Amino acid sequence: MVNYQEDLREQIKRKYEEKEHTVVKIALVGQPGAGKSSVINKLIGKNIFKSGVYTDTTVKSQEVSWRDLRIVDLPGYDTKRFPFEDWCKQFSVEDYDLYLFVFAGKLHDADGKLFKKFKEWNQSRKHPYFIVRNKEDDIWDGERTLEELKKEIIEDVHSKVGAKDIKVYFTSCKTGTGFKELKNDILASDIDDVKKGKIIAAVKADSIKDLDRKRAKCLDDINVYAWATAVNALNPIPGVDVSFDLAAFYKMAKEIRESFGLDETVIEKYMIVLGPVGKQLADKVLAYLTKEGIMWVIKQVAGKYATKQFGKYIPFVGQAVAACAGFAMTKTLGEYYIDNCFELAKEILEYEVMNSKDKMKK
């Protein structure tokens, strides 16, 4: 039994450390003026890159961190300054977890070299790549249909790669075309599950399906969160037999909110326009916004968890009943908080969709 308990504790500890220290490295490459910054901004749902900054004309990469994503806009390749192989080595291009190639004009032989590298790296290390033809709304020819022009672009990509199994995504930052498909395929790729979870948490939810993904990701993390709050039993709560790491619980609540895109500004903005239901949900979410608020919630329910009936959690946190109760309480309050954040984010999404339709009618 002791070995079994230790194995479970070590397993959760490894998950916690992996979750804490994993960063997803995303390479953003392609043609100047193709809208690389706009594409990543659209996926994230926030202007983390300034549009119009073309790193292809510089000798440095532009790097931005967002949550646990590290997105690097790489400079141009196969130039006099950066012959292709030198560029790969100097910028450690092989080391990225995921690649987004964005273009809006004619492809060149250098792009074909890069596509072949993408395919090679994906086959050897399961690091997916996505080829995006942006500015679909600008594809036009008076003598051919859009579908004919798209087919020609796809065939050009296939000829550069030397394979016909490469998917090309057609997107428009103006209309939003193609981003749902691109996002779904990124999240369905073979990237490591922990890294996929980081991407799910970071990208904007544009549908109920996106919110469902975020909810499932947060629920999957609950045991890890609960282990962190209870394993060290750092903060005994006065008056009840529960030990608790308040800082870890606060961090958990913050990560859950961020995953659903709920910062204080967003919550306060929408609690006014969503009516009584929205305000009620917003109040529940805001209760976890400060350590003082969390402590108030904990004290309301802590007594329920200071009993031996939670001994089933002992394999995770050891024999200390107080820490065991903290683990059980974290699971319950964490799941409750996830549900509240999900429902508030859902109300906001439905409001935005309805508001957007009303504007289009006008």
pLDDT higher than threshold 50 for residue 191: yes
Average pLDDT, the chain: 82
For residue 327, what pLDDT is reported? Answer: 73
Rounded to whole angstroms, the Cα distance separating 257 from 253 reads 6
Q: 296: pLDDT confidence band, cut at 50, 70 and 90?
A: confident
Residue 177 has pLDDT above 80, yes or no: yes
Whether residue 308 is predicted with pLDDT greater than 60 in this model: the reply is: no
Terminal-residue alpha carbon distance, the chain = 68
Model confidence at 9, pLDDT cuts 50, 70, 90, reads low
Average pLDDT over residues 42-62: 72
pLDDT tens by residue, 98-137: 999 999 988 888 899 899 889 888 887 788 999 999 999 9
Residues linked to residue 27 through DSSP beta bridges, in sequence order: 72, 99
Convert the pLDDT of each residue in 318-348 to its tens digit: 444 445 666 777 788 889 999 999 999 999 9
Q: Is 80 exceeded by the pLDDT of residue 16? A: no
Spatial separation of the C-alpha atoms in residues 354 and 175, rounded to whole Å: 17
Average pLDDT over residues 281-287: 90
What digits encode the pLDDT tens for the residues 201-212? 999 998 999 999
Q: Is the pLDDT of residue 294 over 80?
A: yes
- The tens digit of pLDDT for each residue in 76-103 reads 888 888 888 999 999 999 999 999 999 9
Most confident region among 57-66, 213-222, 224-233, 305-314 by mean pLDDT:
213-222
